[in-house]
């Protein structure tokens, strides 16, 4: 590969003018070798993939080659491949069978696993503690449950901040983003009021302003937790298809 690159550079440099000297401008050419490297990776995959879709390194494990060659397939290469396919063909992304297979494979290996971990974390660090602290009014228990809920809320808020940085003003064009911001603000208010009197029983029917506010805030928070759980559940193919059909 290095010899081929040297030949390409040598041929490209023929006929180019150069000016020597520190204080003089130099005419130069920028060489973007990414398309060439990408092409070599695709050729390598085509020649060395087995029936299971995995790379076959048996040839390189022989006595002549004591170690495997340095090969990596990054997310950039995958995105570049999809972009090239879509740029050179007509139709949408769902019309490309190869692209759909690549996306499905990446989803099964990455996205579904992350969705499962997020569902587990949200269930056990927000959903269950939030409902338990509404019915168990022991002082330390209420503080522990709400602390777990607040930590989970801050963890999710981090993703919202990153999304704002990436999307900019477009972030506020999504209705669900407004729901996430409202849900975070609502729970922060609930957390502040609940910690002031962890032993308070709800509802106590004593026309207490803090208790009334907590009861009022509980309804949108219950709806918000349901929306978040449905969002994580729809990442699983079977349940997600059922939601769309309903």
Q: What are phi and psi of 49, to 5 degrees?
A: -90, 145
Q: Which of 17-26, 131-140, 207-216 has the highest mean pLDDT?
A: 131-140
Does residue 131 carry a pLDDT above 70? yes
Query: Under 8 Å CB-to-CB from 99, ≥6 apart: which residues?
Result: 82, 85, 86, 93
Q: What are phi and psi of 55, to 5 degrees?
A: -70, 140
CA distance 94 to 100: 6
Please provide residue 53's backbone torsions phi and psi, each rounded to the nearest 5 degrees: 80, 15
Q: Is the dihedral of CA 212, 217, 223, 225 positive or negative?
A: negative
Check whether 2 has a pLDDT greater than 50. no
Q: Is the dihedral of CA 88, 91, 97, 103 positive or negative?
A: positive
- The structure tokens 């992350």 sit at 114
Tell me the HSE value of 2 on the side-chain side, using a 13 A CA sphere.
0
Average pLDDT over residues 163-183: 91
**Of 65-74, 83-92, 226-235, highest mean pLDDT:** 226-235
The reported pLDDT for the residue numbered 100 is 73
Rounded Cα gap, residues 44 and 38, in angstroms: 10
pLDDT at 225 (0 to 100): 93
Q: Return all residues near 241 (Cβ < 8 A) that are at least 6 apart.
A: none
pTM: 0.61
Beta strands in the chain (DSSP E): none
Nearest one of 91, 125, 104 to 229, comparing CA atoms: 125
Chain centroid to CA 101: 19
> How many Å from the N-terminal Cα to the C-terminal Cα in the chain?
55
Query: What confidence tier does 5 reach under pLDDT thresholds 50, 70, 90?
Result: low
Model confidence at 201: pLDDT above 50: yes
Q: What is the pLDDT of residues 16-47, one digit of tens each?
A: 555 555 555 555 555 666 666 667 767 776 77
Cα(82)–Cα(99) distance, rounded to whole angstroms?
6
Least confident of 3-12, 93-102, 148-157: 3-12
**If we measure between CA atoms, which residue out of 51, 69, 52 comes closest to residue 60?**
69
């Amino acid at each position: 590969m290095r010899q081929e690159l040297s030949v390409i550079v040598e041929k490209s440099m023929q006929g180019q003018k150069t000016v020597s000297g520190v204080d003089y401008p130099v005419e130069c050419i920028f060489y973007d070798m990414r398309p060439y490297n990408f092409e070599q990776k695709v050729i390598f995959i085509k020649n060395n993939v087995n029936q299971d879709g995995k790379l076959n390194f048996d040839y390189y494990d022989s006595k002549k080659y004591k170690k495997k060659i340095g090969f990596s397939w990054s997310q950039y290469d995958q995105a570049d491949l999809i972009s090239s396919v879509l740029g050179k063909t007509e139709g949408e992304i769902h019309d490309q069978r190869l692209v759909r297979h690549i996306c499905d494979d990446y989803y099964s290996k990455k996205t579904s696993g992350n969705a499962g971990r997020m569902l587990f974390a949200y269930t056990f660090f927000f959903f269950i503690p939030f409902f338990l602290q509404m019915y168990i009014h022991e002082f330390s228990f209420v503080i522990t449950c709400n602390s777990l809920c607040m930590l989970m809320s801050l963890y999710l808020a981090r993703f919202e901040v990153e999304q704002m940085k990436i999307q900019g003003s477009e972030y506020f064009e999504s209705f669900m983003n407004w729901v996430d911001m409202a849900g975070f603000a609502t729970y922060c208010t609930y957390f502040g009021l609940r910690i002031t009197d962890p032993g308070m029983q709800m509802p106590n029917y004593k026309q207490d302003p803090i208790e009334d506010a907590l009861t009022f805030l509980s309804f949108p928070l219950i709806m918000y937790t349901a929306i978040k759980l449905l969002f994580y559940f729809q990442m699983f193919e079977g349940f997600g298809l059922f939601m769309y059909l309903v």
